[in-house]
Amino acid sequence: MKIEANGIEMNYELSGREDGQVVVLSHSLGASLAMWDPQMEILESDFRVLRYDLRGHGNTEAPAGAYTLEQLGDDAIGLLDALGIDLIHWVGLSIGGMIGQSLALNYPDRLQCVALCDTAPVIPDEAQPIWQERIDAILQKGTKALVDPTMERWFTAPYLSENPPEVQRVREQFLATPVAGFVGCGEAIRCLNYLERLSEIKHPTLIMVGEEDLGTPVAASEAMHARIPNSRLVVLPSAAHLSNVEQSEAFNNELISFLRDCSSAA
């Protein structure tokens, strides 16, 4: 489904229990709403599930230029407003978790709880050249220039060697990402700096990370956990950046337990 929100045409899917509380799923850079396929069955049994393609990803419009995390947060709020949804549980992975921090800080009344998965609260100065290299490579050669090293960061070596169909599906999402969307969201990520504001987040917060995540390592999740008062940290063994795919059963068990607790307390 497509709808106009915050000045762009956004692609979304709304499914699950029509009378359920709403869970919003926000995917990683270079993916699409299909990244959440492993979570849909367990979430749809209890909740109304809204997943959407980020600005510049999947079938959502891809304006040129740098985006900001606040703008991406406004996209999400615009989508909720367009659909008449007031209150949500937010689940974000990677940049989706960065957007979740933005929403918890800037729109706290719209969230019941937040799950921050394989994400970070700040991009250190020493990482800026890495992001510039990625953006330059995409601009020069397209997403194919980064697909192999990205899959190697997103999944553990043993999982990649098994060559499961899940990896191919994620790979196809990455290759299909518009250059403008990757660059725009990449510019948003490199400006991430919520670390010193995290103590303002009062929502119940689940922080989940793959033990072998190199892009947003366990230390980044520990830093968030130390600053968000009502948070719980879960480290998933044998998982890298896309822990929701590689260790979907363990991820799902932790997530559904957290969301059920949040919904019953509402």
Q: What is the pLDDT of residues 77-87, one digit of tens each?
A: 999 999 999 99
Task: Write down the residue that tokens 């660059």 correspond to.
Answer: 183
Q: Is 93 left (phi over 0), alpha (psi -120 to 50) or beta?
A: beta
pTM of the model: 0.98
> Could you tell me the residue range of the domain that residue 18 belongs to?
2-265
Neighbouring-strand partners of residue 117? 93, 208
**Where residue 39 sits, what CATH number does that domain have?**
3.40.50.1820
CB 56 within 8 Å of CB 180 = yes
Angstrom CA distances, 222 to 18, 203, 216, 231, 250, stand at: 36, 17, 11, 10, 19
CA dist 234 and 222 (Å) reads 10
CA dist 129 and 131 (Å) reads 5
Structure tokens, 194: 């919520």
Those residues of the chain that have pLDDT short of 70 are 266
How many domains in the chain?
1
pLDDT in the model for residue 265: 84
